[in-house]
Amino acid sequence: MRMPARLARDIFFCVAIPAAIIAFPLAVRGETIDELKRSIRERNDEIKHLEEAAKKFRDEITVQQGRAKTLSGELVRIDRLIGGLKNDITLTERKISARALEIGVLGSEIKEKEISVDRLQLGLGAALRVVSQRDEEPMVRVLAKRPRLSDFLQELDHFSSLEIKMLGSIDALRDVRQELEAQKGEAEEKKVLLEDLKFELRDRKVAQEGEKRTRAELLIATKNQEKKYQELVQEAEKKRAALEQEIHTIEEKIRITIDPSLLPSRGSGVFASPLPKPILATCAKTMTQDRATNCLTQYFGYTSFAASGGYNGSGHNGVDFRADTSTTVFAAEKGTVTAIGDTDIGCRRASYGKWILVRHPNNLSTLYAHLSSIGVSAGDTVERGGRIGSSGMSGYATGPHLHFSVFATQGVRVENIRSRVCGTTMTVPISAVNAYLNPLDYL
């Protein structure tokens, strides 16, 4: 009475499953799965209302930025931004709470399935022992113990029934295992999302504190006087123009031959987007549809702004994306962080502000500037699409956005520049003019 080979293989395949497939946090003691799911629904309803409020704040901030620059207007803009960030912080906290509850529910459901797996394995194990013992006994001996044919046939019938039950248990075990694996994957995804939300929460709190400092410093510098504010605006513009000229003069003196064969071929997809859901078109075409769109406010090279003298006769060395303060910024490709910096420390509102330079294996480097916060350090390894910081309006910026530059790596370096304009030393990326590349050729 040999056990069919397929049955033996299936039994081994299923019974050999580890008893504890995964380990996730269980639900809070005293709360049932239904109670947790009700709490999740409540959090999600609150999240929906907060997201509606966030959109209103974004619209108000955008309208305020389009108005004439006055001290009162700037204070209103900052106040709206601080209010929006406060709302975003609450929103992110609710999302974190909801994701944690969802992980708790999955943990409880996974535990229940592990118990089912244990029970099924115990039942199969007992049945397997019966079958194995019977399998070791020769057919002649079984027949001798059952002199009547009806008894022998009944024995065969019992064995056949046992095989059918075992096969049913094996199918059930397979189903439970597949459900376990699916829930394991879902829980892992939610854990990653939870960590991303914690990163986002930290960055938004940093951005909010930064805006509060900006407001306080503005009031101190202007003594709440419009005339003083306009003088500050004009001074910032002079510093920006003079500093850009200083850097441009240095870069024009750098002579380097770029080997095109070392660079990747132009084409979309070489780099991932540095922002969530961007549109590679001017905001003039998209802003009327959705003010939250991460669209292009300025292209690379000799744009109309550059032609009007915006960069002292040089072209724009990257592209600018509209992006709300604290929008997540991603690494465009895997690589190593060459350096980070903050030009506001040496010369406030005159250059890149907070910036990150990343070197990639494809011989290109990328720059992310005007950030509200930086989430990496020099020497860190980053992955394609990994969080590295948040957008903002540090440095010289008329509104929150992301400046994104692409360089041939062999032509870019980081230098400490003693600025005659600001009278301080600043750390900034410096590149040979011909090492600047059009980012849209690679996005």
Integer Cα distance of 273 and 265 in angstroms: 17
Last residue of a domain, one of 206, 222, 246: 206
Do 80 and 150 reside in the same domain of the chain?
yes
Give the pLDDT score at 23: 39
Give the pLDDT score at 144: 55
Give the pLDDT score at 257: 85
Q: What is the mean pLDDT of residues 178-200?
A: 81
With H, G, I as helix, E, B as strand and everything else as coil, classify residue 321.
strand
Do 269 and 187 reside in the same domain of the chain?
no
The answer to whether residue 230 sits within a structural domain is no
Give the pLDDT score at 384: 95
The answer to whether residue 233 sits within a structural domain is no
Beta strands in 254-334 (DSSP E): 278-282, 294-298, 319-322, 328-330
High-pLDDT (> 70) share of the chain, %: 74
pLDDT band at 364 (very low <50, low <70, confident <90, very high): very high
Lowest mean pLDDT among 225-239, 316-330, 344-358: 225-239
Query: Which has more pLDDT, 282 or 144?
Result: 282
Lowest mean pLDDT among 16-25, 98-107, 279-288, 422-431: 16-25
**How many domains does the structure of the chain reveal?**
2
High-pLDDT (> 90) share of the chain, %: 20
Chain segment 60-96, per-residue pLDDT in tens:
776 666 655 788 888 888 888 888 888 888 888 888 8
Predicted confidence (pLDDT) at residue 343 exceeds the cutoff of 80:
yes
Predicted confidence (pLDDT) at residue 211 exceeds the cutoff of 80:
yes
Give the pLDDT score at 136: 53
User: Do 88 and 202 contact (CB within 8 A), yes or no?
Assistant: no
Residues 6 or more apart in contact with residue 326 via CB below 8 angstroms: 85, 88, 200, 203, 204, 207, 372, 373, 390, 391, 392
The answer to whether residue 35 sits within a structural domain is yes
Residue-number span of the structural domain to which 98 is assigned: 5-206
Of 212, 211, 197, 215, nearest to 89 by C-alpha is: 197
Last residue of a domain, one of 206, 227, 246: 206
Half-sphere exposure of 13 (CA within 13 A, CB side): 14
The answer to whether residue 65 sits within a structural domain is yes
Do 187 and 267 reside in the same domain of the chain?
no
Torsion angles phi and psi, residue 338, rounded to 5:
-70, -45
Integer Cα distance of 380 and 340 in angstroms: 11
Lowest mean pLDDT among 147-156, 196-205, 210-219: 147-156
The answer to whether residue 244 sits within a structural domain is no
Predicted confidence (pLDDT) at residue 427 exceeds the cutoff of 70:
yes
Give the pLDDT score at 300: 87
Query: Which has more pLDDT, 239 or 359?
Result: 359
The answer to whether residue 228 sits within a structural domain is no
pLDDT band at 105 (very low <50, low <70, confident <90, very high): confident
Checking 88-93 for CB contacts under 8 A at 24+ apart, the result is 88/54, 88/204, 88/326, 89/201, 89/204, 89/205, 89/208, 90/50, 91/47, 91/50, 91/51, 91/54, 92/197, 92/200, 92/201, 92/204, 93/201
Q: pTM here? A: 0.69
Q: What is the mean pLDDT of residues 253-268?
A: 85
Q: What is the mean pLDDT of residues 338-360?
A: 91
Do 189 and 77 reside in the same domain of the chain?
yes
Residues 6 or more apart in contact with residue 369 via CB below 8 angstroms: 318, 352, 353, 354, 355, 356, 395, 402, 403, 404, 405
The answer to whether residue 248 sits within a structural domain is no
Query: Which has more pLDDT, 331 or 95?
Result: 331
Lowest mean pLDDT among 82-91, 223-232, 337-346, 403-412: 223-232
Give the pLDDT score at 320: 93
Do 190 and 295 reside in the same domain of the chain?
no
Do 178 and 59 reside in the same domain of the chain?
yes
User: Do 180 and 113 contact (CB within 8 A), yes or no?
Assistant: yes
pLDDT band at 355 (very low <50, low <70, confident <90, very high): very high
Q: What is the mean pLDDT of residues 106-122?
A: 75
Neighbours of 296 (CB within 10 A): 24
The answer to whether residue 219 sits within a structural domain is no
User: Do 64 and 77 contact (CB within 8 A), yes or no?
Assistant: yes
User: Do 393 and 372 contact (CB within 8 A), yes or no?
Assistant: yes
Last residue of a domain, one of 170, 187, 206: 206
Chain segment 127-160, per-residue pLDDT in tens:
666 665 555 555 555 555 556 555 555 555 555 5
Query: Which has more pLDDT, 183 or 171?
Result: 183
Torsion angles phi and psi, residue 171, rounded to 5:
-65, -45
Give the pLDDT score at 20: 35
Do 330 and 425 reside in the same domain of the chain?
yes
Do 177 and 30 reside in the same domain of the chain?
yes
Do 175 and 273 reside in the same domain of the chain?
no
Predicted confidence (pLDDT) at residue 422 exceeds the cutoff of 70:
yes
Read off the CATH number of the domain in which 328 is found: 2.70.70.10
Do 337 and 417 reside in the same domain of the chain?
yes
For residue 236, what are its two tokens? 């910032």
Chain segment 14-41, per-residue pLDDT in tens:
444 333 333 334 344 446 778 877 888 8
Do 265 and 389 reside in the same domain of the chain?
yes
